[in-house]
């Protein structure tokens, strides 16, 4: 029998805490969730076995992972939500068009999409591994059958379970070829929901037959390939377990996932600080319930010390059988052994990495370009002319931070080159709305001249259904009625694009891309703006130096 100290160290192995990749405490972007260096150092010395990282640059990430490993008592699982490339979370890395872009390509050429998906996984896997990560929290396996889904949207690989299965399996093959662990999420499927589980608890009304035909299809396919980890979604599947959300449900984790689908790997919870859990149970009780239900790894409990103590007391009292701890620790040891074995792969040897640097840069830059170009849609190319005084009206989620936009972003610099002054609509700005439901945009106050409307709209955590409440269809009609709409560009949701496109006058220039990064902006803006000498000054992202 373990001593109390040893007992708690074993429990700590099963916790994954959040940290910033920035090296100093004052640089943390989300200090409410990201542990201070002092606390992080202590917890790792006391046995905590995993860290999820967010923010910072590639160089900082690499250095941070080395530091964390040096502080840790145990071999660490180091992970990040880099579903769309390491550059999605860490500056300097490659940021790819979201998975939904692959679905759009699949409709035209299925084999090309499958090839892209495998290269997508390889790109993420190699860049993650080179910078210290050994576990990527992807692919998203949710089948996005609900167009009003506020948090999955373009993160999904589509709305057809068979296509999602094919693409996620190709992605997994590419990712695992680079010596990185994958994670299928959010079991049993977050695709048909209209509530963001970061804020509240979504409900699925489907019975087991429907789940087997749609939601579970990608998970079953990946389990058959040997995927190492599965993440639970904070979802109430009423016809499977009417009382307990999936994360804390024995019927869903132990019976459905383990027994019915035969999953032998590690089950990890989604972040326990999310509203779906904290509002019902509190993070600490959710940690105990999740572990009791069959989860092996506890992700982001609000207070790691309290979570360790609560699980300890539950094991000591007999509420949770002691073999639950031993089983989870053994699964974790198996995973660490697999990670260690990856170092022997030819593709991960130091000499191979150096030899393939140039080839990798070319492949990933080409992939970034090809995904954008193959999945974008352009109406009336080359139709936006230079003007003396126009408005470049850009809607973004916020400006602190704003991943898609910076000082030299194509969506800002290219319109300004041809006379369009940039105005941002965001949550921290002055409200652009009027009380007139038929003309909700206060266009006179914003300024005179033609308006280029650019909308950055996609499923984003913590926004709920705010994006669906914004009256963009009415605004589109308002600008067209005033004969002031110079063009429309949508970056993100294909559902919003489809709706707005149906309301466009047939002569209005317009473009769409699932992606929001610089390359998507560059390709769409240069497609719509009429050639005019030296006005297009910015080079494609492909021409920039790419550092791994």
- Residue 190 counted as domain residue: yes
**Residue-level pLDDT at 534:** 47
Average pLDDT across the chain, whole number: 92
Show which residues are catalytic. Answer: 198, 270
CATH code for the domain in which residue 511 is found: 3.40.50.10870
Do 247 and 383 lie in one domain? The reply is no
**Residue-level pLDDT at 466:** 65
pLDDT tens digits along 35-48? 999 999 999 999 99
Do 309 and 415 lie in one domain? The reply is no
Answer yes or no: is pLDDT of 348 > 70.
Answer: no
pLDDT band at 546; cut points 50, 70, 90: very low
Contacts of 190 (CB under 8 A, 6+ apart): 142, 149, 151, 152, 197, 202, 233, 235
Distances (CA, A) of 422 to 115, 412, 453, 533: 38, 6, 10, 22
**Residue-level pLDDT at 462:** 66
For 265-290, what is the mean pLDDT?
93
- Residue 276 counted as domain residue: yes
**Residue-level pLDDT at 536:** 46
How many independent structural domains does the chain possess?
Answer: 2
- Residue 93 counted as domain residue: no
**Residue-level pLDDT at 467:** 64
**Residue-level pLDDT at 353:** 45
Do 225 and 335 lie in one domain? The reply is yes
Cα distance between residue 84 and residue 375, in whole Å? 15
- Residue 89 counted as domain residue: no
Cα distance between residue 157 and residue 191, in whole Å? 10
pLDDT tens digits along 475-504? 999 999 999 999 999 999 999 999 999 999
Domain span at 283: 106-355
Do 145 and 284 lie in one domain? The reply is yes
pLDDT band at 311; cut points 50, 70, 90: very high
Give the containing element (helix H, strand E) for 489: strand 485-492
Do 383 and 461 lie in one domain? The reply is yes
Do 303 and 431 lie in one domain? The reply is no
pLDDT tens digits along 104-161? 999 999 999 999 999 999 999 999 999 999 999 999 999 999 999 999 999 999 999 9
For 223-245, what is the mean pLDDT?
97
Percent of the chain whose predicted confidence (pLDDT) is above 90: 82
Do 387 and 457 lie in one domain? The reply is yes
Do 177 and 226 lie in one domain? The reply is yes
For 400-429, what is the mean pLDDT?
90
Of 295, 322, 355, which residue sits at a domain end?
355
Do 298 and 406 lie in one domain? The reply is no
pLDDT band at 1; cut points 50, 70, 90: low
CATH code for the domain in which residue 110 is found: 3.20.20.300
Kindly report the backbone phi and psi dihedral angles of residue 10, in degrees, each rounded to the nearest multiple of 5, phi listed first: -65, -40
Q: Look up the pTM and report it.
A: 0.93
pLDDT tens digits along 203-232? 999 999 999 999 999 999 999 999 999 999
Do 387 and 534 lie in one domain? The reply is yes
pLDDT band at 282; cut points 50, 70, 90: confident
Of 320, 355, 390, which residue sits at a domain end?
355
- Residue 118 counted as domain residue: yes
- Residue 94 counted as domain residue: no
Do 255 and 293 lie in one domain? The reply is yes
Please classify residue 33 by burial: count the beta carbons closer than 10 Å to its beta carbon, then call 0-12 exposed, 13-18 middle and 19+ buried. Answer: middle
Do 492 and 411 lie in one domain? The reply is yes
The CA-based diameter of the chain, rounded to the nearest angstrom, is 80
């Amino acid at each position: 029998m373990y001593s109390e100290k040893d007992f708690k160290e074993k429990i700590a192995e099963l916790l994954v805490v959040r940290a910033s990749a920035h090296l100093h405490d004052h640089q943390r972007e989300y200090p409410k969730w990201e542990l201070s260096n002092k606390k992080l150092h202590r917890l790792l010395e006391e046995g905590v076995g995993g860290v999820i990282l967010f923010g910072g640059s590639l160089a900082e990430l690499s250095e941070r992972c080395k530091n964390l490993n040096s502080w840790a008592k145990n071999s660490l699982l180091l992970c990040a939500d880099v579903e769309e490339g390491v550059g999605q979370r860490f500056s300097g890395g490659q940021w790819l068009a979201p998975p939904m872009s692959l679905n759009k390509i699949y409709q035209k050429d299925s084999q090309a999409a499958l090839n892209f998906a495998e290269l997508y996984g390889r790109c993420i896997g190699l860049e993650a591994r080179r910078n210290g990560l050994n576990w990527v929290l992807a692919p998203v396996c949710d089948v996005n059958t609900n167009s009003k889904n506020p948090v999955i949207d373009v993160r999904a690989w589509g709305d057809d379970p068979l296509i999602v299965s094919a693409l996620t399996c190709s992605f997994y093959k590419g990712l695992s070829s680079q010596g990185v662990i994958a994670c299928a999420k959010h079991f049993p499927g977050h695709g048909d929901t209209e509530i963001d589980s970061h804020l509240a608890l979504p409900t699925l009304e489907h019975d087991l037959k429907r789940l087997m035909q749609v939601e579970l299809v990608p998970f079953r396919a990946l389990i058959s390939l040997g995927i190492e980890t599965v993440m639970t979604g904070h979802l109430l599947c009423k016809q499977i377990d009417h009382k307990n959300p999936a994360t804390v449900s024995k019927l869903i984790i132990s019976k459905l996932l383990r027994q019915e689908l035969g999953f032998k790997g590690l089950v990890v919870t989604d972040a326990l600080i999310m509203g779906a859990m904290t509002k019902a149970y509190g993070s600490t009780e959710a940690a105990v319930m999740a572990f009791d239900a069959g989860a092996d790894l506890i992700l982001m409990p609000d207070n790691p010390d309290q979570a360790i103590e609560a699980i300890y007391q539950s094991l000591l009292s007999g509420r949770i059988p002691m073999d639950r701890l031993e089983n989870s620790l053994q699964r974790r040891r198996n995973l660490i052994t697999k990670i260690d074995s990856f170092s022997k792969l030819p593709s991960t040897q130091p000499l191979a990495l150096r030899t393939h640097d140039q080839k990798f840069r070319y492949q990933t830059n080409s992939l970034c370009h090809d995904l954008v170009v193959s999945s974008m849609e352009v109406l009336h190319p080359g139709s936006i002319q230079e003007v003396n005084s126009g408005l470049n009206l850009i809607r973004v989620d916020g400006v602190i931070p704003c991943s898609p936009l910076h000082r030299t972003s194509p969506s800002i610099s290219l319109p300004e080159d041809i006379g369009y002054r940039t105005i941002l609509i965001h949550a921290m700005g002055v409200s652009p709305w009027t009380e007139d439901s038929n003309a909700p945009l206060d266009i006179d106050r914003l300024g005179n001249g033609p308006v280029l409307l650019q909308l950055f709209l996609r499923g984003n955590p913590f926004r709920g259904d705010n994006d669906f409440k914004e009256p963009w269809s009415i605004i589109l009609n308002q600008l067209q009625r005033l004969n002031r709409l110079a063009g429309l560009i949508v970056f993100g949701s294909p559902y919003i694009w489809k709706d707005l496109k149906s309301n466009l006058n047939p002569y209005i220039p317009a473009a769409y891309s699932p992606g929001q990064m610089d390359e998507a902006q560059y390709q769409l803006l240069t497609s719509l703006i009429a050639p005019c000498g030296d006005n297009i000054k910015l080079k494609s992202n492909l021409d920039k130096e790419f550092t791994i």
